[in-house]
Structure formats: structure tokens, C-alpha cells
Structure 1
Amino acid sequence: MRIHLLKYRTFLFLLLFLVNSVNKGFSQNQTKADSLEKIYNSSSRARQNLEILKDLSENSIAPYMKLKFSEELLEIAKKRNSQSYFYTGYLQKGNALASRGDFTEALESYFQAASVAKNEKELGLIKVTLGDVYSLTKNHQRSLNYYNEAIEIFRKTKDSLTLGSVIFNAGDGYLKNNQMDMAISYLEESEQIFKNINFDLGLAYCSGTLGLAYAKLGRNEEAEKNIQQAIQALEKAEDYSPICEFLNGMADIYTEKNEDSTAIEFASISRDLARTYGFKNETREANLRLAQIYEKTGNIPEAYKFYKEYIIYRDSVLNVSTAQNMAGLRADYEVAQKQIEVDLLSAQRENQQLVVISIAVASFLVCLLAFGLYRRNRFIKRTSAIIEKEKNRSELLLLNILPEETARELKKNGKVRAKKFESVTVLFADFKRFTLIAENLPPERLIKTIDYYFSQFDKIMEKYDIEKIKTIGDSYMAASGLPFPNQDHAYKILMAAFEMTQFVKETKENSLYDDANFDVRVGLNSGPVVAGVVGTKKFAYDIWGDTVNIAARMESHSDIGKINISENTYDLIKDKFDCEYRGEVEVKNGRILKMYYVKDIKEEENKIAG
């Protein structure tokens, strides 16, 4: 996949992924993961290979893929009693769960990894991951305790990469605990270690996080310079997670400058990427930024919408910390109550007069308790009304995320069954030479340009009742014929494709928008797909099947300004459009499909349409 704008969107660099493959560096090798997936899918024997599963669990970036491969690794390793794979399996499972925000389950996996650790270094890595989880749940003091224990372990080793990484995490923890002097001291030590070993990506992390520290100290020029340098380096490395917090940092800086529209753009990009990859903590922080900025600009409805989402993600992320704090408060309360009982008994033996005082005090406390219960009851009633109101608002939000029929099924059953559609047409479009052009544009201008194109594409899809599925960087995906089947799905989406290519062409030729100098290519394929909702807490409507894969192949074999279709789509539209045969292409399972360029709508059809 090419480098594109969507990589400018999420950070909370805590060693959650580095510890899995210290010898590989900070970011997983997604290219290697893609190659391994091809091997994994090639045969049932490959899917049982422990080494392949181990490498896939370590290198996969998407949390749901990391979780899938780590669980398969553990299942097969347990069947074969291959204990040497248990540590990696539990560790990677914990990393995947933590990335999704399921911190209680992540902690359980990390503790299981600790139980099978073979040496002090592996135990040290577990301490790092535990520190990461507690940092993510804002239990910063406990997080720093684990980090400093891990630092003591790795100072005894020659592993400079891991030592620098743990010191970096501790510095990040001090930053989030607002201990700025300690934060900068640790980050600068980590930066020096990475310089000594020529670790450029680690230097990018340090640069960006120091930028966040400078921003908190009001040193905005230094902050912006550091963060921009970090984003550029991380974008080249395709390291998604850290870029979000850096973008949030940019949003803070532009908010301080009173450039609110630019701040909203940075925070929105951070939120979108975090939602795309299931990063709950980063989604929460981006929602908070947006709520604060919209409140500042006086747009209260938008501020309220994003603050509500912030509350939802905040409660999900902080469950672990809340449970721990409640347990501690309960223990403190019970000890205090026991001490009161002992003191009262002793006082009664010493002086009977204190009994009268105690009774009076108790009566007062009972009255106070009764009054408190009365107030509490009133509070519960008001809260229930608020909750009901929020429930109604949440239902409206769900209808904006999912098709109405799908949303109703989700509310009724708590889940959505996958549904097969026998005949739909899938469209893929992307911009040619996007990476080359994007490298010469500042981030904020590139963001505005992409939004200009995709907003118009959305309007075209709405015009033809076509379901937009998703955007991935500069790639745009849509499907016609679902969630409500229709007979002319191929015709509708082809008409939409012509409008898309014409819009891009006119924009470039007539210079209708600054920096809008892109060329688009389009690919279509028709056939059956399976559609459904993925995720249990963050829902997304998606489609799967060979039809989707072939549509992507059609797009990759298309050319500038062209609409390339498979013979499946050709059979549906050949009577209405003039097409040009352009050869064959091999698809999955060795099948050969013919390809056609769609030239124009036939004259008689054009008259009917007109």
C-alpha cells in the first residue's frame, strides 16, 4: 500500500509493539506481515506452522489481525505442548487487546506471559507492558513504578535499544503526570541513546514527544517544529499509532494561535485514523480536543456530540483503573470503620458520659445519612432522565454510522448477522502518483485537498443511492446494490464513476482548487458479497468476498482517467455502454478474467437518461 495522508493520525507510543520484536525496531514490518499472510493462506499446513504464526503475530499492525494470529499460535502450541511459543503468544495477545482498549483482558494475558517467562529480560519486558497499560488507564504513578523497575533491569544489559525505549516510555509517563522536568530529562537521555545507535525512528518518537512537552510549557515554536519533524519521519515508516497524539498536539498548538479551523482539521484526522485502526485511547483524546475546540468557537451542538463520544471511550478505557481505585477505597473505609469501633468501646469503659455524646453524634449521622439518601434519590431520578436522553441521542448517532436496517438489527439483537448479497457492483478509486505529489505539500494543505475530492465523491454516491463503504488513505471504496438489492446497480455505479472522473479532470484542467492536481483511476467488478458489521464496541459496516478483491485488481490495472471493468460487470452493462476490450488478468485461484475500458454511454441510452 502506498504512503498516504491517513498515516497522519495516532500516537501513544508506549512499548506495546516494540517489546514483541526488540531486534526489529519500533514499528512492525507490515510488508513482511503481508508476505507471511500469502504463505499462511497458501495451504492448511502453512496455517498450522508455529513459526509463521509467531512472525505474523509480531509483525501485524491491525489489532484484530494481531489478536487472531496470537490466539491461533497459542491454540496450536498448547495442542503440541510447544511451550517455547507460549510467551510470544500471550505477549502478542496482550498487545492486541491493549491496542483495542480491552485493558482488563490485556493485563490477564501479560500476567500469563510473565508466568512462562524464561529469563530476567523477558520479565523486564512484561514490566514495560504493564507500565504501558497503567499509563493508558491514567494510573501514572503505578505505571512509572513499573517503568523504573524495568529500567533497572535493562541498565544491566547491553541492549541499548530496549533501554532507550523503556526510558522513553518513562519520560512519556512523567509528561502525562505533568512532571515536566523529569519528562524532559528522561526523553533527552533516551534521545541520546538512540543517537548513539543511529536509530532514526526512535529519534522521531523523542522529537515528537519533546514537542508535546514544549507545548505544555508554552514553547509553541519549538513544539511545532519538533512535532512536524516527527510526523514526517513516522509517515515514511508507516507507523500509525504515534502520529495521532502528535496531530492532537498540533491541534493544541493551533488552538493557542486561535487558528481554530486548522486545529479542527488536525484533531479530526487524528480521530478518523484512531477509529479506523481501533485505537480507543487515541479516539478518546481526539474527541476531547474536538469538543473543546468547538466549545471555544461557540458551536455547542458539535461540542456536545464529540464530548459524548469522549465520555463513552473514556469510561471504556478507564474500567481497569476505576476497579483498582475502588478496591483501595473500600479497604481504607473498612479499616477506618474498625478503628472507630475500637475507639468508641474504649471511650465507653473510660467515661460513661461519652455514651450520651456518642448517641447524639450517631443520631446526627443517621439524620445526615437520611438526608443524604433523600438527595441521592433525587439525583438518581435526574440522572436516569439524562441517561434516557443520551440513549436516544446514541440511537441517532448509530443511524449515522450504519445502514438503517443494520442499525435496527444491532439494537434488537445486540449483534448483526452477516448477510449475503447475490449481485452487487463494487467500485475502487484512487489517485495516481499520490505519494509523489503529497511529498511536496505541507500536511494541512494536503488534508484540505483530499477532503475537497472525497466530499464531492460522497455527494455523487448519495445522488445515485450508492453505499459508501470506507476510505483508506487516497483510496475510495463504494458498493451499489446493498443494503437494498436492485437490478440496475451496475448502471448506477458506472454513471457515478463517470461523474467522478469528469470532476477530477475538470478540477485539474481548470485549476478549480489550490493544489488539486491529481489524476484518478477507477476499477469495478460485479458479483456476490457478504456484508456485515465488524467490532463489538466500535462498529463499522464492511463487505468481503472475491468480488471485492477483483474490483481492487481492476482499479490497480486501470489508468489515468479510465474506468476499468471486469467481464462480470461488462455482461451487465454492455447493452448500455460502449466498451473497449483491453486484455485479460489473472485473479485468485488461477482464474483469468477479461477486462474492458468503458468509453461512454451509448447514444440511445444517453437520450433516455437525458
Structure 2
Amino acid sequence: MQLSNVCVSQKDQNKADSLEVIYNNSREARKDLEILKDLAKNSMDPSKQLKYSNELLATAQEKNSHDYLFIGYLQKGHALTARGDYSEALENFFKAASVAENQSELGLIKITLGDIYSLTQNHDRAIKYYNEGIEIIRQSNDSIPLGSALFNAGDEYLKNKQVDKAIIYLKEAEEIFKGLKYDYGIAYCLGTLGLAYAQIGRNEEAEANIQQAIQFLEKYEDYSPICEFLSGMSDIYAEKGRDSTAIEFALLSRDLAKAYGFKNEIREANLRLSQIYENRGNLLEAYKYYKEYIVYKDSVMNVSTAQSMAGLRADYEVAQKQAEVDLLNVQRENQKLVVISIAIASFLVCLLAFGLYRRNRFIKRTSKIIEKERNRSDRLLLNILPEETARELKKNGRVKAKKFESVTVLFADFKRFTLVAERLPPERLIKTIDYYFSQFDRIMEKYGIEKIKTIGDSYMAASGLPFPTNDHASKMLKAAFEMTEFVKETKENSLFDDADFEVRIGINSGPVVAGVVGIKKFAYDIWGDTVNIAARMESHSEIRRINISENTYELIKDEFQCEYRGEVEVKNQRILKMYFVNGVKESIKKEAV
């Protein structure tokens, strides 16, 4: 991970939002260099940052402003980096270097180039630029950029197992940030020092540091370093032999990285999962995660190859701006050496082309497998959650709870279930329950009703969500009558070997809150007094009968024949009337005919 010289916070985003209102309502603002600069620097959305950076560059070129050109290229590079477009990001950082006018700007560019090469695993170039940038920034006495540069260099050494050097750089960065009371930088240092301590066996210190860093960064919603720190926790527990906990942390890192599109973090989490499962002897799971690791690894390494080829150009363009950097020496080679070089290069290109061809074939095969698994997981998700809820979960990584003002909730259970269950073998019992509940599912699907869950022999469904309707109560009553008729016919005609059940149903209407609970084995559920009363209606019902509350009665009384059957006390000492529903009114039947 890298620590930016200027971290965008929610406060900065609020400033960007205010400026965006001015920008959208004023033509003059769209050409104001200062407004465009602030929008490009403070927007947390990479797409918006890229948009405003391009407009800043165009306006700066029109007005021939070198200062704003430098900022425009720099912010455009940052936006492209956030999107994973590293080659194009490098191009813009090179352009920023070409218009830099002082040592401070040049030092910033060198650190930024080090960040790019670090992301693409080019350790030598990353360390070269970091150390050159640090020497320049030390002369300017600018503390936060110096602390950020030292942190990034320490993180790079850590990635390459040079732990002693990493700790030296990270400790110096931490002292700078503590002196400035810069909590954001302190959190980064704490977490990364925790990763370093884990590598040298200081696991208790490592765990304490990482947990403290995660807790702080969650407040800032800075999820990229959190992903890496979660992976670090996975390594610590794997080292302790606690594989199950190690897998949980690695999965948390992977899922969070996928939710926010962090390719490097997705890659590393998949590699850790593959290694843990391989150590446990579960080769099938190990292969599954290694396959995904390869896909993300290739997407980054393709960029790395291109940047290595562009490295010479980077050295040249940046060196032009710094007298302390040696000029590139271009030496002429004799003709024989050129011919030999061309021959060797041609041979290597052929090898590379062949390798790329084989790799592309492998990627195509694995892509088909991954696509098949993705479609399978989508189908499973839709089988667990409503379609709208599933889409929201895939897009945002979480689901907001929603209130529905008027829905109808049904509870159904089987009479004498316990007695029957005691005499049936487990396999036959499950087969019997599945026979009934599968048909209930088909009935609910017919009327567009959402099945919520089953608990033992109890079946729960709700009509009128996730898409509100005006006829939710009527649909639920029609479905309930089909359920009772199905159970009756099955028993009377002996359609199933163990079909000896009788069903009773309770229904209530009113407001509910719906949402998804849990992060593992999550479930779509509903809550509220409406649900409790529906359960109470079911417990006071009778076999083959549908018992409804007065709330539902008021919604369906013009369509169905109802029989008043007394009152029942519900929560908070409330008294509700109950009704049996006997069927559709004759007038309604005639209209239907």
C-alpha cells in the first residue's frame, strides 16, 4: 500500500460537492483554474477526478499556466492509478515531470513514480525513486511529504523481505507523524509495522498494531490498507496453526477488496487462501483460489512488463529536471554488436510471443470456468435473496434496511408434526418436508410473493415486498387457499407415502422493516409488530383454516367471505379481532366468470 502526500477525507469530499454545485450552475466556474484544481484534488470518485483533471489541463493549456498544468497531470495520474491504468498513469506523471519548476515538485514526482513501480512489483525502480525523492524532500523541510515518502519506502522494503530496513524507515515516518499529530499517517505506520513484526515472529505486537490500525481506518472508510492488514492478520493466525481463523481474515480481505475493486488486494488474498488450503490438504479449494489469483496477477503483470520497457524513458525525462542525477550516457555500439543484439532480441520476442499465446489460451479457458462459477454463484444468490436485494449486495457489498408501509405476512405450520417426525427416519422426514415446502414455493412464485424462511415445520412468506403492491393481501389469501387445498388433496388421495399432515395458516397486514442480516450465511428477513401478530394468528388458527387479523380483514372484506371468531390479546396488551376466511364471495366469482 502507499500513503499519499495528501489523503482525501470526507471533509475534502464535502468541499468538492459544494464546488460541484457552483461548477454546474456557472459557466465562468467551468473555466476557473482554482475551482477545477480543487475539484480534481478533493473528489474521492476516480471517474470525477479524471474528468476534472482533463478539464483543468485543457483550461491551463488555453491560459498557458505551467503551475496548473503540473497539478493537472499529477491529479490525472492519481485518478488513473486508482483505476488500475498504470501505463497511462505513468505517461501523465512523466508529463508532470516535464513541466515541474522546482525541487519540491520534482521530489513529489519521484515518490509518485516509486509508488507506480511498487504497485507493479518492480522493486529496484521503486526503491531508486523513493530514495532519490526522500533526499530532495529532506532539503525542503516539508514534514508530511517526507513522512509519506519514508513510509512508502519502508513498505516497499517490507514487500521484499528486507524487514530490518523496513522497520527503520517506518519508525522514522511514525515519529514524524506523531510530532505532527497526523493520525492518518500514524494508523498506516502502526498497521505496516504490525506486518513487519509478524514476519520476525513478534506476533502479539503485530496483532495489537494491526487491530488498532484497522479500527482507526474504518472511521475514514479507507478500505485498501484495511484489506492488506486483514491479510496480515490471516498470516499471523496461519503461523499459529489456527487455520480456520486465518481463512476468515483472508476471506474478509478478499470480499472487501472485491467490493471496492482493489486488484492487488484481491490477488494477495486469493494467494493466501490457496496456500492455507494447500497446507490443510484441501487441494480442490486451493486450486479454486489459486486460479483466481492467476487471473488478477496477470492483469497487473501485463502492466508491469510495459512499464519496465518504459523505465529508460522515465529515467531520462525526470533526470532532465535534476542536476544531481547523472545524465544518461548514450554510447554507440559497433555494427556487429547491433546485429547480434537484434538477433537476440528477435529470438526473445519470438519466445515472448509464444509464451503470450499459451498464456492467452490458458486465460480463455480459466475465464470460461470463472464465468461459469460466477453465473452459478449469481443463481445461488437469487435463490437466497430477492433480485433487487441481490443486485444491491453485489454492487455495494451491503444492503440497506428498508421500511415497507403495508405488506401481508403469512405463517403456516403442520398439525401433529412432532408426532409424525418422531416415527419417521431422518431421510424420509426431510423428503416429506421438502415435498410440501417445494409446492408452497411454487405457489408463492405464482402470485409474486416473497418466501422469507422456514423454521422446522413453520413456513413464512410476505406479499408486497420488495416491490410494493396494492393487492398484496388479496394475493396472499389466494395463495393460502391453494396451500390448504394442496395439503388436503395430498392427504385424501394418498399422493405421497408419508402425507399425513394437516396445515393451519395465520395472516396479518401492516408495516415491516426488511433487510439482510449477517456476513456469513446471510439471510433476507423482516421484523416488526406485523410479523409477531401474524405468528399469533397462526397459533390461534385451526387445521385447514385460514385465520386473519382485523388489519387484513379491512383490506379483503369486499372480496372474501369472512367469519368473525372473537378477539385475541397481542403485544402491549392490545386486543385484535380475528376472522376465518371461508372463500371468495359469490359476486366476485360471477364477475370473474
Give the TM-score taking structure 2 as reference length.
Answer: 0.59
Cα distance change, pair 456–272 in 1 and its aligned pair in 2 (3 A): closer
Q: Please tell me whether the aligned partners of residues 133 and 143 of structure 1 are also in contact (alpha carbons under 8 angstroms).
A: yes
Q: Does 1:475 align with 2:458?
A: no
Within 5 Å, give how 1:263-274 maps onto structure 2: 263-274=246-257
Quick one: which amino acid aligns to residue 158 of structure 1? N
Give deviations 1:479-514, integer Å, cap 9, x for gaps. xxxxxxxxxxxx999954x949x99xx9xxxxxxxx
1:258 aligns to what SS in structure 2? Answer: coil
- Paired residue for 2:12, among 13, 24, 29? 29
Give deviations 1:543-573, integer Å, cap 9, x for gaps. xxxxxxxxxxxxxxxx995479xxxxxxxxx
2:278 aligns to what SS in structure 1? Answer: helix
Within 5 Å, give how 1:215-230 maps onto structure 2: 215-230=198-213
Within 5 Å, give how 1:186-265 maps onto structure 2: 186-265=169-248
C-alpha displacement of 1:147: 0.9
C-alpha displacement of 1:59: 1.8
Q: Please tell me whether the aligned partners of residues 234 and 247 of structure 2 are also in contact (alpha carbons under 8 angstroms).
A: yes
Indicate the residue corresponding to 1:88 in structure 2. 71
Indicate the residue corresponding to 1:396 in structure 2. 372
Cα distance change, pair 159–398 in 1 and its aligned pair in 2 (3 A): same
CA distance in 1, matches of 2:354, 2:72: 50
Q: Does 1:279 align with 2:262?
A: yes
Give deviations 1:1-58, integer Å, cap 9, x for gaps. xxxxxxxxxxx1x24xx33x4xx78888333334444444455655554333322221
- Paired residue for 2:385, among 460, 481, 492? 460
2:386 aligns to what SS in structure 1? Answer: helix
- Paired residue for 1:172, among 140, 146, 155? 155
CA distance in 1, matches of 2:77, 2:353: 41
Q: Please tell me whether the aligned partners of residues 164 and 190 of structure 1 are also in contact (alpha carbons under 8 angstroms).
A: yes
Cα distance change, pair 341–395 in 1 and its aligned pair in 2 (3 A): closer
Quick one: which amino acid aligns to residue 369 of structure 2? R
Indicate the residue corresponding to 2:124 in structure 1. 141
Give deviations 1:309-350, integer Å, cap 9, x for gaps. 221221221234324557999xxxx989957999xxxxxxxx
2:201 aligns to what SS in structure 1? Answer: coil
Give deviations 1:168-214, integer Å, cap 9, x for gaps. 11111111121111110111111111111111111111110000001
Cα distance change, pair 187–465 in 1 and its aligned pair in 2 (3 A): closer
- Paired residue for 2:297, among 294, 298, 314? 314
Q: Please tell me whether the aligned partners of residues 102 and 317 of structure 1 are also in contact (alpha carbons under 8 angstroms).
A: no
1:318 aligns to what SS in structure 2? Answer: helix
Q: Identify the structure with bigger relative contact order (alpha carbons < 8 Å, sequence gap 6+).
A: 1
Cα distance change, pair 218–115 in 1 and its aligned pair in 2 (3 A): same
Within 5 Å, give how 1:436-447 maps onto structure 2: none
**Structure showing greater Rg:** 2
1:293 aligns to what SS in structure 2? Answer: helix
- How many aligned residue pairs are there? 410
Give deviations 1:450-476, integer Å, cap 9, x for gaps. xxxxx99971316x9975563536534
Quick one: which amino acid aligns to residue 386 of structure 2? M
Give deviations 1:384-441, integer Å, cap 9, x for gaps. 87555324314424535889xxxxxxxxxxxxxxxxxxxxxxxxxxxxxxxxxxxxxx
Quick one: which amino acid aligns to residue 396 of structure 1? K
C-alpha displacement of 1:266: 2.1
Q: Please tell me whether the aligned partners of residues 207 and 229 of structure 1 are also in contact (alpha carbons under 8 angstroms).
A: yes
Quick one: which amino acid aligns to residue 285 of structure 1? E
Quick one: which amino acid aligns to residue 384 of structure 2? K
Cα distance change, pair 327–459 in 1 and its aligned pair in 2 (3 A): closer
CA distance in 1, matches of 2:293, 2:36: 36
Cα distance change, pair 241–390 in 1 and its aligned pair in 2 (3 A): closer
Q: Please tell me whether the aligned partners of residues 99 and 280 of structure 1 are also in contact (alpha carbons under 8 angstroms).
A: no
CA distance in 2, matches of 1:493, 1:92: 53
C-alpha displacement of 1:264: 2.5
Give me the identity figure in percent: 53
CA distance in 1, matches of 2:233, 2:335: 50
Quick one: which amino acid aligns to residue 459 of structure 1? I
Q: Does 1:111 align with 2:35?
A: no
C-alpha displacement of 1:71: 2.2
C-alpha displacement of 1:66: 2.2
Quick one: which amino acid aligns to residue 306 of structure 1? Y
Give deviations 1:226-285, integer Å, cap 9, x for gaps. 000111111112222221111111111122233333322322222233233332222221
Cα distance change, pair 142–266 in 1 and its aligned pair in 2 (3 A): same
Q: Does 1:125 align with 2:108?
A: yes
- Paired residue for 1:52, among 10, 35, 41? 35
Q: Please tell me whether the aligned partners of residues 49 and 75 of structure 2 are also in contact (alpha carbons under 8 angstroms).
A: yes
CA distance in 1, matches of 2:241, 2:216: 27
Cα distance change, pair 468–160 in 1 and its aligned pair in 2 (3 A): closer
Give deviations 1:38-85, integer Å, cap 9, x for gaps. 444455655554333322221222333322332232234334444432
Quick one: which amino acid aligns to residue 14 of structure 2? T
CA distance in 2, matches of 1:135, 1:153: 19
CA distance in 2, matches of 1:145, 1:218: 29
Quick one: which amino acid aligns to residue 390 of structure 1? T
Within 5 Å, give how 1:182-581 maps onto structure 2: 182-323=165-306, 386=362, 389-397=365-373, 399=375, 459-461=384-386, 467-468=391-392, 470=394, 472=396, 474-476=398-400, 496=450, 499=452, 561-562=512-513
Cα distance change, pair 200–75 in 1 and its aligned pair in 2 (3 A): same
C-alpha displacement of 1:300: 3.1
Q: Please tell me whether the aligned partners of residues 118 and 156 of structure 2 are also in contact (alpha carbons under 8 angstroms).
A: yes
CA distance in 2, matches of 1:308, 1:275: 16
Q: Please tell me whether the aligned partners of residues 228 and 265 of structure 2 are also in contact (alpha carbons under 8 angstroms).
A: yes
Q: Please tell me whether the aligned partners of residues 170 and 183 of structure 1 are also in contact (alpha carbons under 8 angstroms).
A: yes
CA distance in 1, matches of 2:108, 2:354: 49
Q: Please tell me whether the aligned partners of residues 36 and 55 of structure 2 are also in contact (alpha carbons under 8 angstroms).
A: yes
Q: Please tell me whether the aligned partners of residues 124 and 150 of structure 1 are also in contact (alpha carbons under 8 angstroms).
A: yes
CA distance in 2, matches of 1:152, 1:249: 30
CA distance in 1, matches of 2:48, 2:377: 23
CA distance in 1, matches of 2:366, 2:20: 43
1:218 aligns to what SS in structure 2? Answer: coil
RMSD: 4.5
Quick one: which amino acid aligns to residue 39 of structure 2? L
CA distance in 2, matches of 1:194, 1:465: 43
CA distance in 1, matches of 2:357, 2:17: 54
CA distance in 2, matches of 1:492, 1:60: 47
Q: Give ranges in structure 2 of 5+ residues lacking alignment.
A: 313-331, 341-346, 403-444, 459-464, 470-509, 516-529, 531-550, 561-580, 585-593
Q: Please tell me whether the aligned partners of residues 27 and 239 of structure 1 are also in contact (alpha carbons under 8 angstroms).
A: no
Cα distance change, pair 173–305 in 1 and its aligned pair in 2 (3 A): same
Q: Please tell me whether the aligned partners of residues 28 and 60 of structure 1 are also in contact (alpha carbons under 8 angstroms).
A: no
Indicate the residue corresponding to 1:157 in structure 2. 140
2:92 aligns to what SS in structure 1? Answer: helix
Indicate the residue corresponding to 2:319 in structure 1. none
Cα distance change, pair 376–202 in 1 and its aligned pair in 2 (3 A): closer
CA distance in 2, matches of 1:221, 1:269: 21
Q: Please tell me whether the aligned partners of residues 259 and 397 of structure 2 are also in contact (alpha carbons under 8 angstroms).
A: no
